[in-house]
Amino acid sequence: MNRTPTDAEKTRQLPWIVAAHASNSVFAYLTFFGSPFILMLSLLGLPKTSIGALMSLLPFFGVVSLVAAPYIAHFGFKRAFVLFFAARKVVTLFLLFTPLVASHWGPRGAFIFIAIVVGVFALFRALAETASYPWSQEMIPNAVRGKFTALDYMCLSTAAALALVFAGWVIGDSENIQPFMILVAVGLVFGGISVWCTTHWVGGEPLRDAQSRPSLSQMWEPLRDRNFVYYEAVVAVITLAGGISAFLPLYQKDAIGLSQSVVVWLQIAGLAGMILTAYAWGWVADRFGARPVLLIVVTYLFPLPGILWFMLPRYSVWSTPGAAFLAFLSNAFAMGWALGTSRLLFANLVPADRKTQYMAMHYAWMGLIGGCTPLLAGVVLDAAKHLSGHLGPFVIDQYSPLWAANAGLIFLAAALISRIRTGEISVRKFAGLFLHGNPLLAAEAIRRHGAALEEETRISAAEMMGRVKSPLYIEELIQSLHDPSYNVRHEAIVSIAHMPPDDRLVDELAEILHGRHPDLAVTAVWALGRLGSTHALEPLRAALHSDYPMVAAAAARTLGTLRDRESQALILERFQALDPDSALRTAYAAALGNLRCRDAVPDLLAYVRQQTVRAEETTLALARIIGGERRFIRLWRQSRSDFNAGVAQAIGAWRSKVRRLRPPRPELDLPVTRAHEHFMAGETDHGLEELRRLLVHIMYEPLPEPLPLILGDCAHMLEEKVGPQDEVLLLALHGIGVAFSYMLGERSSPTPAP
C-alpha cells in the first residue's frame, strides 16, 4: 500500500514548497525563462525563427511524459523529481561557455551549442515535471489549494521581481554578452538552493501497487473524459493566443522603442500585478470554483491587454508608463487564469487514483502545443518582417498578425470553457455576486471578520456585513452564526436578514429554529421572513410545532408575511385554541391578516372586542382582509397628531363620493355631512352617533363578505363602548371608505390578490 501524507504533514511542509519555488523563480528568470535570455539571443544575432525554435524546445520535450510517466510512477515521484530537477541545474552550467563558443564559431555555432544545452535542459525539465504534477496533487490540501497557490505565486513573484531588478542593473544598455553570464551564475546559486528545499517535501512515494501504476495503454484513458478534453483544448487555444509573449521583449525594444534595461524591468510591473492580485484570485477560486473564474477572465479580461499593446504609442513619452501599466494588467489577468486552471485541473478534473496518466497526458499535450507556439510565432514574424502600414493612428507591422490572432483565439477559448461541466456556481450567478453591494466594501468586511478577535470587533464585523449586503462573504456570515458569543450570533442573524436570498443562509437559520435559544430562534424566524425565500417555508412550517410557543407564534407571523396559504388552516386553529388573554394571539392575528383569511374575521372581531388596550395589529389584520391597506395606514397616520382632525379629514373625503352615487342617497349624505361637522368642531360623541347611523345604513348594502360583518360589529362596539375605541373607529372609517368604493364600482374584487 502507498502511504498518503496526512493534512498535518502536508501543512507543515508548505513553507518548503514556497522556499523552493521562490528560489527556483530566481534561477528561471535569470536563465532560460526571463526576458534577459531573449535579449541575449537577439544580441547574438539570431533571427526570430531561430529564437522561436530555441524557445519551442523547452515545452516540446513535454511529450516524453507519456512514455516516461509509468516508469517514473514506479521509480517514485519524489526521487525522480529531485534527481532531474538537480540535473537540469547542472546542464545550465554549460551556458557559461556561450561567449567562448560564440567567439570561436560565430552565431551559427552559438545557436547549435545553445540548442543542445536547451534541449538537454528541456528533457530533464520534462522528466522532473512529469513527476511533479501527480505529486503536486498529493502535496497540497484541496481545501486551501487556491489560497496557498496564490500565496506561493506572491512569494515567487516577489523573488523574481528582485531578480529582475538585479538583472536590469547588471545588463543596462550593454551590447556585450558577459553581463548575461553573471546572471546565469547567480541563477545557478539559487537553483542549488531550490534543489535542497525540494528534499524536504513529503509524499511522492513509488506506486508499488500494479493496479495504481498505469500501463502504457492506460495512458490514453484521459482522452475519453469529455471535461478533460475540453480543458486541454482551452489551454491549448490560450497557449497559441499567447504566441507573441515569447517575443514581447523584442516587441517592446524594437517596435515600442524601449531600452534593454526598461524591457527587463517591465517584468517587475508584471510581477507586481501577479503579487497584488494573487490572493484575491485564489480566494475567489476556492470560494466559488475555478470554472466561473476562468470564464470571466477569458471572456471579459484577457482580450483587453492585447488590444492595448497594439494601440500603445511608439517612441513616445507615454511608451514606458503605458507599457508598465499593460505589463501589470496582463499579469494580473494571467494570475487569474493560472490559479483558475490550476484549481480546475487538480481539484475538479483529475481523479486522484488516475493522476499519473492524466497529468502525463496534460504535460505532454502542453509540451506539444507550447513547443509549436513560439516556433509558429517566430515563423510568422520572419514571414511578415516587410509588413508595414497604418490603420488610422495605429501602426501595422510584423507583430500585428500575432496581436490579431491573440484576440480571435481568446474568444474561441471562451466558447470552449462554457462546455466544461463541473457543477460549480454558474457564471451568471458568479458575476451577479459582484453586482450586489459594493465589492470593495465586501473585501473590507471580509478583512475585518478575519482580523476580529474581541467580541466587540466580531459584532462590528457582522454588523458591517449586514450593511454592505454582498453575497461575497456568505461563508464569513455562516462562521459568525456559529460564534461562541451569543451577541455575535444575534448580530449575524440580523445581518443575514438584510442579505439577498441564499439557500445556504436559509439552511443555517433553519438550524437555529431547533436550537436551545428560543430568543435567537425568534430572531432567526424574523430573518427568514426578511429573506423572502420560498426555501424557508418548510422549516417555518415545522417551527409551528416548536416546543417554544413564542417561536411557533413568530413562525406563524412570518408565514403570514410570506403568504403561505398551506399553513393558513393550522394558524387559524392555533389562534382559536390559544387562551383569550394570551399575548401570542396578536402574532397569529397578524398572520391571518396577511393571509387575507376571511374565515378568521369572526374570531378576530371577538378578539378586538376583548381588548382593553390598543389593538393596532388586529385592526390592521381586519383592514387587510377587506382590502385597501394603504388607505388604512394613511388614515392611521392622519389621526396620530390630532385624532379628531384626522377623522374629520377622512370623513370629508367621502362627501364627494356620496354625491356621485346614482340614484342620489340623501340618507347617506346627511350623516356624512353631520359627522364631518361634529368632528371638525371637536364634538366626538355627536360625531360617533352620526357614524353609527351611517354604519347601520351601509351594512345592509349589497357588499361582499366579510365587509358587512365588520361594519356591523364596529357599530355595536362603538355603541356599547367595548374594545379599544380609537382602533375600532379607525377600522369603521376604513370599512366605510371601502364600502363606498364598491358602491361606486371602483372595486370589483372583495380582496386583492396576495
DSSP 420-444: ---S---HHHHHHHTTSS-HHHHHH
Q: 149 and 343 in contact (C-beta within 8 Å)?
A: yes
Record the cell numbers describing residue 373, joined without a space: 507556439
Handedness of CA 403, 404, 409, 411 (dihedral sign): positive
pLDDT, tens digit, for every residue of 702-740? Answer: 888 898 999 999 999 988 888 888 898 899 999 988 888
Distance CA 678, CA 303 (A): 77
Report the alpha-carbon distance of residue 255 to residue 564 in Å, rounded.
69
Q: Could you report the per-residue pLDDT of 401-451, keeping only the tens digit for each?
A: 888 888 888 888 888 877 877 766 666 777 677 777 777 888 888 889 888
Predicted confidence (pLDDT) at residue 748 exceeds the cutoff of 70 = no
410 three-state secondary structure: helix
Stretch 445-463: mean pLDDT: 90
pLDDT of 91 above 90 = yes
Q: Where are the alpha helices (DSSP H) in 518-628?
A: 518-531, 537-543, 549-561, 568-577, 585-594, 601-610, 616-626
What pLDDT, on the 0 to 100 scale, is given for residue 650? 85
pLDDT tens sequence across 33-49? 887 888 888 888 888 78
Q: At what angle do helices 585-594 and 568-577 cross, to 10 degrees?
A: 150
Instruction: Band the pLDDT of 751: cuts 50, 70, 90.
Output: very low
HEC sequence for 155-200: HHHHHHHHHHHHHHHHHCCCCCCHHHHHHHHHHHHHHHHHHHHHCC
Tens digits of residue pLDDT in 669-703: 888 888 888 888 888 888 889 888 888 888 888 88
Quickly state the pLDDT bin for 1 (edges 50, 70, 90). Answer: very low
Min mean pLDDT across 79-88, 369-378, 689-698 is at 369-378
Closest alpha carbon to 91 in 131, 130, 125? 125
The pLDDT of residue 407: 84
Q: Which residue ranges form the domains of the chain, and what is each CATH number?
A: 7-201+222-425 (1.20.1250.20), 434-491 (no CATH), 501-579 (1.25.10), 629-743 (no CATH)
Half-sphere exposure of 8 (CA within 13 A, CB side): 0
Q: Are 694 and 672 in contact (CB under 8 A)?
A: yes
| pLDDT exceeds cutoff 50 at 752 | no
Question: Phi and psi (nearest 5°) for 396?
Answer: -105, 125
Contact by Cβ (8 Å): 449, 478: no
Q: What is the pTM of this model?
A: 0.65
Give the tens place of pLDDT for each residue, 244-301: 787 888 888 888 888 888 887 887 888 888 888 877 887 777 777 777 778 778 877 7
Half-sphere exposure of 573 (CA within 13 A, CB side): 7
Please compute the mean of the pLDDT values over residues 498-505 and round it to a whole number.
89
DSSP 8-class letter at 102: H
User: Which residue in 76, 57, 193, 183 sits closest to 125, CA to CA?
Assistant: 57
pLDDT tops 80 at residue 346 = no
Q: What pLDDT does residue 361 have?
A: 81
63 vs 324, higher pLDDT:
324
- How high is the pLDDT of residue 260? 80
Confidence tier at 526 by pLDDT (50, 70, 90): very high
- What is the C-alpha separation between 201 and 13, in angstroms, rounded? 6
pLDDT at 576 over 60: yes
Q: Which cell numbers in the block locate residue 441?
A: 466594501
Contact (CB, 8 A) for 607 and 585: yes
Note the pLDDT of residue 218: 63
Return mean pLDDT, the chain.
Answer: 84
Q: Which amino acid is at 663?
A: P
- Predicted pLDDT at 216: 55
| Alpha carbon of residue 335 to chain centroid | 17
**pLDDT for res 2:** 57
Using CA atoms, how far residue 100 sits from 26, 37, 113, 187, 445, in Å, is: 25, 17, 11, 20, 60
pLDDT range class, residue 136, cuts 50, 70, 90 = confident
Residue whose C-alpha cell is 516508469:
71
- Would you say residue 86 has pLDDT above 90? yes
Rounded CA-CA distance 207/418 in Å is: 35
Residue 641, Cβ neighbours under 10 Å: how many?
Answer: 8
pLDDT greater than 70 at residue 212? no
**pLDDT value for 148:** 80
Lowest mean pLDDT among 359-368, 583-592, 743-752: 743-752
Q: How confident is the model at residue 754 (pLDDT cuts 50, 70, 90)?
A: very low
Cβ neighbour number for residue 311 with a 10 Å cutoff: 13
Q: How far apart are CA 413 and CA 295, in angstroms?
A: 9
| Over residues 496-522, mean pLDDT | 90
pLDDT digits (tens, 9 = 90+) for 585-638: 899 999 999 999 999 999 999 999 888 778 888 999 999 999 888 888 988 888
The pLDDT value given to residue 211: 44
Q: Which residue's entry shows cell 510568422? A: 380
Whether residue 168 is predicted with pLDDT greater than 80 in this model: the reply is yes
* % the chain with pLDDT above 90: 23
* CA angle in degrees (0–180, nearest 5) for 712-715-717: 110
Total Cβ atoms within 10 A of residue 216? 12
What's the mean pLDDT in 475-494? 92
Instruction: Mark residue 315 as left, alpha or beta (left: phi above 0; alpha: psi -120 to 50; beta: remaining).
Output: left
pLDDT at 521 (0 to 100): 92
